[in-house]
Amino acid sequence: MDIKKVGVIGAGQMGNGIAHVFALAGYDVLMNDISREALDAALTVIDTNLERQVSREKISADAKAEALGRISTTLTLADLGPTDLVIEAATERETVKAAIFEDIVPHLAPHTILTSNTSSISITRLASRTDRPEKFMGFHFMNPVPVMQLVELIRGIATDEATYKTLHGVVERLGKTSATAEDFPAFIVNRILMPMINEAVYTLYEGVGSVASIDSAMKLGTNHPMGPLELADFIGLDTCLAIMNVLHDGLADTKYRPCPLLTKYVEAGWLGRKTERGFYDYRQDPPVPTR
């Protein structure tokens, strides 16, 4: 199937990044959100990120202008109906995603492929809430989308081969690399990454090391570009906790039990960079550990 027009649901950090890379690759993009302010902010972020690519000579000024010209926005979810591919990039809560799919399905063209950028939720279960489980897949981009090269492709139990091959081709056109994952909780990347982050929080919780020593140990001892607690703040502690709960509930194994300290930070509203406090306090420059 030839994908020409792409709908993106959600204009947050993931949604605007997805819109950015698709527009740059030559696709027409229609981005939806429930807030005009969110859409305007997303366009500003995309403009800034494209300009950064121009300044680093990754793309030309003309390519930036053409990409911005391919992006349009709407507050009306039904407007995405005629697109060839829809990518849901809303909050990582299954109830929210299910409600979005229920609202958009009556407006979709028969050929439209429906996907979710979920980082952990069952693709088979989400697909079952739609009228096209055979044309439904997990399409999981990494954050930040314009920089990270990987896209996880997750087939639900009903996903057909044509849908998989179409999305595999889309990833290639984006200039990224795909990894195919089976539909089990958290797929590949987060199945490995989140327990590592959770274990780092346990290491802090049990007093084995401080925030600074844990992050320094992992950066210098294992050559990671960011320490696990710094990375958790970047991802969002609420997202980390949500994925750990999916792993714990879906696999029924105590090794995936979320650390009580992670839960405590989320309860406090200290969610990381987006709230200016998490394992680091970002109201200061440079950020200062909170424990």
Catalytic residue among 152, 178, 198, 230: 152
Is there a catalytic annotation at residue 152? Answer: yes
Is there a catalytic annotation at residue 216? Answer: no
Catalytic residue among 32, 49, 117, 119: 119
Is there a catalytic annotation at residue 119? Answer: yes
CB within 8 Å of 234: residues ≥ 6 apart: 143, 226, 272, 273
Q: Indicate the pairing of strand 71-74 with strand 85-88.
A: unpaired
Residues, the chain = 291
Catalytic residue among 117, 190, 198, 230: 190
Catalytic residue among 32, 116, 117, 140: 140
- Residues recognised as catalytic: 119, 140, 152, 190
